[in-house]
Amino acid sequence: MAETDQKDAPRATANRSTTPGSDAFKEYISQGWAERPSRATGPREQAAFAAERRARISALHPTARVVIPAGPAKQRSNDTDYPYRAHSAFAHLTGWGSDTVPGSVLVLEPRSSGAGEPDGHDAVLYFREAAGRDSDEFYANPEIGEFWTGPRPTADDVAADLALATRGLGDLESVLDSLDADTILVREADPAITERVDAQRLLLAGPTAADADADPEAALGERVERDADLARDLSELRLVKDAFEIEQMRLAVAATRQGFDDVIADLPEIVAHPRGERLVEGSFDRRARAEGNTVGYDTIAASGPHACILHWTRNDGPVLPGDLILIDAGVELESYYTADITRTLPVSGSFTEVQRRVYEAVREAADAAFAIVRPGIRFREIHAAAMEVIARRTAEWGLLPVSAEEALQPDGGQHRRYMVHGTSHHLGLDVHDCAQARRDLYLDGILEPGMVFTIEPGLYFQPDDLTVPEEYRGIGVRIEDDVLVTADGCESLSAGIPRTADEVEAWMARGAR
């Protein structure tokens, strides 16, 4: 990695000073550059959808100034950062995804009608514009300089691209200095902005001559609660996907299918390596970078007994013939929409009798959940349908100390020993999307057309679980598909990825390149 002595960069290292600093160098490097061509080509497809989303948030908070930061880059170590990802609420309301300029902030300024009544909001996007060649930023700042991280767009480019009013990030200072009591913000997106807003709120809430007993801390607490209301509303805004989002989900699933194909094709090399799980991760991640932005979450490549660890992401074990490997992975597109698919594959190409028994029981549970999905049912009913199958099968195999009917009672639950997680979660910009929505709109919510979520039952028999016969121990199976609620039922977006035991074996057989 190249070095710099630029002291203005917050994490620059001055003791590695090598960047030229003479007047002759500065004069020479500021000259002889071609004029930058405009990037403006008209609004991107998602701009109109983002405008509609902003209008819905405006209607929920008609008098509030709303601040939605994209967030800063996050430090990984010393002067290196994690790959940048903007906050999902910012991406949702602007249409910017992987090309977001770090540190950008969307502000919705309330308007008033002639009669003083609320009249919607004006949306303004503040971001760090491209630096002029007469500055030293573009060659000497390793965090944001063009020579280091690439050129940034102009205000006109972004305004045309996103159909948004734009201003330089420096102009945000006056906005933050003029906050009023009705300002609300996405708190977790940018800690520095949150701290500054809270400090301004304390000043605004301080005692006055008219109210000497005012409690600033209590007033701040009330405004923080309003921030939580905004976070809830932004989550609930994503419960039902629009047409652009649904198409993005289809594309993410299609790319994810390619990633699974790559893993199967690479199995000989994977099996030969002592840390084959890492090669599974690498094969899938390569496809994610080729077809999208990256993976939507850390890939789970869990072979053998590792499949019984629900979020196994160390991926440092071997992939051995005779074992099953559980792969939970999803491609995130440049728009940040991600798939979330799990398939459990027999490494040798064929299931053993016991492996097939467990696998098909899990598929039966998934199919039972699929069968009831339609508008009008409650989200929690999906889980209940899958659990009826899990309870029945584990009871039939003699694993439960009670009957399936007793296990399914509220004071039972013995079958959950072998599947402690839920069956479904919403999916979209985040792999666990809409997480701050109210319970009565999520778990207890009524399904509507346009909702996208997973169906992912599983069975996990820990290698040291003495309640199951030895032949079951160390077997972990999960089958996960992504589902779109339609007007009269549901569509499995991942139906093209083999699911049944017979289909999976055929997939494995034809997988070698």
Query: For the chain, which residues score pLDDT lower than 50?
Result: 1-10, 208-209, 513
Both 68 and 202 in one domain: the answer is yes
Both 202 and 91 in one domain: the answer is yes
Both 197 and 261 in one domain: the answer is no
- 3: in domain: no
Boundary of a domain, candidates 215, 236, 257: 236
Q: Token pair 């589902």 is at which residue?
A: 483
Both 403 and 357 in one domain: the answer is yes
477 - beta bridge partners? 459
pLDDT in tens, 248-278: 999 999 999 999 999 999 999 999 999 999 9
* Cα–Cα nearest to 66, from 104, 105, 94, 107: 107
What is the identity of the amino acid at 135?
S
Q: Token pair 């004006």 is at which residue?
A: 122
- Report the pLDDT value the prediction gives residue 206, as an integer from 0 to 100: 64
Long-range contacts of 157-160 (CB under 8 A, 24+ apart): 157/38, 157/39, 157/40, 158/101, 158/125, 158/127, 159/40, 160/40, 160/41, 160/42, 160/43
Answer positive or negative: Cα dihedral of 208, 213, 214, 217. positive
- Report the pLDDT value the prediction gives residue 141, as an integer from 0 to 100: 86
- Report the pLDDT value the prediction gives residue 513, as an integer from 0 to 100: 44
Give the span between the Cα atoms of 293 and 493, in whole angstroms.
20
Q: What is the CATH number of the domain that holds 75?
A: 3.40.350.10
Q: 450: alpha, beta or left, given left = phi > 0 and alpha = psi -120 to 50?
A: left
pLDDT in tens, 93-132: 999 999 999 999 999 999 988 777 888 999 999 999 988 8
Both 375 and 496 in one domain: the answer is yes
Distance of CA 249 to the CA centre of its chain: 12
The alpha helices in 397-487, defined as continuous H runs, are: 404-407
Per DSSP bridges, beta strands 118-127 and 105-112 are antiparallel
Q: What is the CATH number of the domain that holds 271?
A: 3.90.230.10
- 10: in domain: no
- Report the pLDDT value the prediction gives residue 3, as an integer from 0 to 100: 42
Give the span between the Cα atoms of 218 and 54, in whole angstroms.
30
Boundary of a domain, candidates 192, 213, 236: 236
Both 291 and 265 in one domain: the answer is yes
- 12: in domain: no
- Parent domain of 452: 243-509
- Report the pLDDT value the prediction gives residue 13, as an integer from 0 to 100: 54
Both 223 and 279 in one domain: the answer is no
- 22: in domain: no
Q: Are 321 and 309 in contact (CB under 8 A)?
A: no
- Report the pLDDT value the prediction gives residue 102, as an integer from 0 to 100: 96
* Cα–Cα nearest to 295, from 306, 286, 304, 303: 286
- Report the pLDDT value the prediction gives residue 7, as an integer from 0 to 100: 40
Both 163 and 268 in one domain: the answer is no
Answer positive or negative: Cα dihedral of 489, 493, 496, 501. negative
- 467: in domain: yes
Give the span between the Cα atoms of 475 and 326, in whole angstroms.
10
Give the span between the Cα atoms of 331 and 340, in whole angstroms.
8
Boundary of a domain, candidates 179, 210, 236: 236
Give the other-Cβ count within 10 Å of 260's Cβ: 23
125 - beta bridge partners? 106, 166
Answer positive or negative: Cα dihedral of 81, 82, 83, 88. negative
Structure tokens at 58: 């405006």
Determine phi and psi for 67, rounding to 5 degrees. -115, 120
- DSSP class of residue 217? H
Give the span between the Cα atoms of 209 and 195, in whole angstroms.
27
- Report the pLDDT value the prediction gives residue 6, as an integer from 0 to 100: 39
Structure tokens at 74: 């996050």
Structure tokens at 172: 């945000």
Give the span between the Cα atoms of 395 and 412, in whole angstroms.
13
Both 225 and 361 in one domain: the answer is no
- Report the pLDDT value the prediction gives residue 210, as an integer from 0 to 100: 52
Q: Are 320 and 272 in contact (CB under 8 A)?
A: no
What's the number of domains the chain is made of? 2
What is the identity of the amino acid at 457?
P
Both 231 and 304 in one domain: the answer is no
- 171: in domain: yes
Give the span between the Cα atoms of 472 and 176, in whole angstroms.
60
- 20: in domain: no
Both 353 and 452 in one domain: the answer is yes
Both 274 and 341 in one domain: the answer is yes
- Report the pLDDT value the prediction gives residue 1, as an integer from 0 to 100: 44
- Report the pLDDT value the prediction gives residue 213, as an integer from 0 to 100: 57
- 27: in domain: no
